[in-house]
């Protein structure tokens, strides 16, 4: 074959090969860019959901804290009421015992003191 024809065929095939590589790498670059954009959008959506979840958890923490304060106040008031009632009962028994002791023994022995 003629060298000019051979050189022309090699040049055309080489240029076509380079063109195919160029298109392949361009498509591959576009696929990676699309994958990157998809992942970025997915991460943004996940971050937004975590933000909403964090807000809900903060709200629940506030509600739990409010309930804790409410129960603490309620139980403190109940304990004070029971303490007052118990102290009153003890004073009534003390007065009763003092009357009984006064009737039984006018002068208690020295060793009782």
What is the 3 state secondary structure string of 22-63?
A: HHHHHHHHHHHHHHHHHHHHHHHHHHHHHHHHHHHHHHHHHH
The reported pLDDT for the residue numbered 98 is 84
pTM above 0.95, yes or no: no
Provide the pLDDT for residue 17.
93
pLDDT of the chain, 113 residues: tens digit per residue: 688 889 999 999 999 999 999 999 999 999 999 999 999 999 999 999 999 999 999 999 999 999 999 999 999 999 999 999 999 999 988 888 888 887 887 665 666 55
According to the model, what pLDDT value does residue 52 have?
93
């Amino acid at each position: 074959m003629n060298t000019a024809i051979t050189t022309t065929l090699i040049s055309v095939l080489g240029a076509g090969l380079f063109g195919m590589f160029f298109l392949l790498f361009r498509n591959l670059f576009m696929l990676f860019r699309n994958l990157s954009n998809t992942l970025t959008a997915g991460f943004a959506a996940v971050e937004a959901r975590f933000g909403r979840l964090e807000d809900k958890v903060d709200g629940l923490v506030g509600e739990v804290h409010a309930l804790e304060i409410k129960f603490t106040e309620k139980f403190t008031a109940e304990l004070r009421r029971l303490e007052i009632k118990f102290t009153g009962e003890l004073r009534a028994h003390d007065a009763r015992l003092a009357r009984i002791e006064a009737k039984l023994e006018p002068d208690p022995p020295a060793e009782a003191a």
